[in-house]
Amino acid sequence: MIKTVIIDDEDHARETLRMLLDDNCPQVSLVGEAGGIESGIRLIRETTPDLVLLDIQLTDGNSFDVLTRLSPVNFKIIFITAYDRFALQAFKFSAVDYLLKPVSRADLVDAINRAILLLQKDFNIQLHSLQENLKAIAGQKHKIILKTSDNIYLVEQNDIISCESDGCYTVFYTVRGEKIMVTGILKDYDELLRDSGFFRIHKSYLVNLSHVIRFEKQDGGLVVLTDNRKVPVASRKREELIHVFENMAK
């Protein structure tokens, strides 16, 4: 059984989570609830849970006040948040699980199942990345978590030159000359990075526009990147890419 606690300052939110867990997550054992920072810290210390469902914003502070005092964190966390879509990018870049209020049954079940599968040793790195990304929202300086079989990389998105599809994997090329291969299709990283200056120039290539040196029109079209690689541009993407370049020059 997964020992679980809920920390949320809204009574109805805790009740909803409790009912959803009871009805849909038989592998979860709810061992306590709290509504604030001090009570939440006491509860975690008393029950030593495996999993904490933690509201980001509490009446007497925020969830990071709890986590700072309990650092290093030795339990899995699913954040509960009402943040807007821009702040949610911080969670996605950091590979940290979250549930958006109001919490749905399907989303909760999926998050619980992922929590059970994830290795806890990764989480303090992800948590640090999340805190940095939330601080950097206004400055648009984000870090993204990239996991391989041997390492966990925290890479600033501006240091990513391009991404290349390799079947069910994606290869990240960085300014330090790294080639980082991670599990996941290019489409998923396109959706994650497209609002951060990245452009899908080909079904197999996603490029950081800030690392494009020039666009060569011959041979169907190529972009030359800051690491001197030449990457093909799909014919259906030529006009859209030229339009993007023209808007960047304004």
How is residue 79 written in tokens? 């954040």
Q: For all residues of the chain together, what is the average pLDDT? A: 84
Report the distance separating Cα 197 and Cα 248, nearest Å.
Answer: 10
167 and 232 in a single domain? The answer is yes
> How many folded domains does the chain comprise?
2
171 and 226 in a single domain? The answer is yes
195 and 127 in a single domain? The answer is no
For 90-103, how does the pLDDT look when each residue is reduced to its tens digit (9 = 90+)? 565 444 677 888 88
- Residue that is last in its domain, among 135, 161, 186: 135
158 and 122 in a single domain? The answer is no
> Does residue 143 sit within a domain?
no
User: Which residue segment(s) compose the domain that 158 sits in?
Assistant: 148-248
> Does residue 242 sit within a domain?
yes
Query: 29: which strand partners?
Result: 3
CATH number at residue 47: 3.40.50.2300
For 10-64, how does the pLDDT look when each residue is reduced to its tens digit (9 = 90+)? 999 999 999 999 999 999 999 999 999 999 999 999 999 989 998 888 888 888 7
pTM, 2 dp: 0.53
- Percent share of the chain, pLDDT over 90: 44
For 51-79, how does the pLDDT look when each residue is reduced to its tens digit (9 = 90+)? 999 888 888 888 878 888 887 778 888 88
Q: What pLDDT score was predicted for residue 61?
A: 83
CATH number at residue 199: 2.40.50.1020
Query: CA-CA distances (angstroms) from residue 216 to 106, 203, 227?
Result: 47, 18, 16
Report the distance separating Cα 197 and Cα 207, nearest Å.
Answer: 9
Report the distance separating Cα 250 and Cα 246, nearest Å.
Answer: 7
How does 178-214 read in b/e, with b if 16+ C-beta sit within 10 Å? eebebeeebeebbebbeebbbbbbbeebbbbeebbee
96 and 13 in a single domain? The answer is yes
Report the distance separating Cα 68 and Cα 61, nearest Å.
Answer: 12
131 and 226 in a single domain? The answer is no
Q: What pLDDT score was predicted for residue 35?
A: 93
> Does residue 141 sit within a domain?
no
pLDDT at 88 over 80: no
Contacts of 19 (CB under 8 A, 6+ apart): none
Q: What pLDDT score was predicted for residue 173?
A: 97
Q: What is the 3-state secondary structure (H, E, C) of the chain?
A: CEEEEEECCCHHHHHHHHHHHHHHCCCEEEEEEECCHHHHHHHHHHHCCCEEEEECEECCEEHHHHHHHHCCCCCEEEEEECCCHHHHHHHHHCCCCEEECCCCHHHHHHHHHHHHHCCHHHHHHHHHHHHHHHHCCCCCCCEEEEECCCCEEEEEHHHEEEEEEECCEEEEEECCCCEEEEECCHHHHHHHHHHHCEEEEECCEEEEHHHEEEEECHHHCEEEECCCCEEECCHHHHHHHHHHHHHHCC
108 and 66 in a single domain? The answer is yes
162 and 80 in a single domain? The answer is no
> Does residue 140 sit within a domain?
no
Report the distance separating Cα 243 and Cα 216, nearest Å.
Answer: 15
pLDDT at 223 over 60: yes
* Size of the chain, expressed as the number of residues it contains: 250
pLDDT classification of 248: cutoffs 50, 70, 90 = confident
46 and 111 in a single domain? The answer is yes
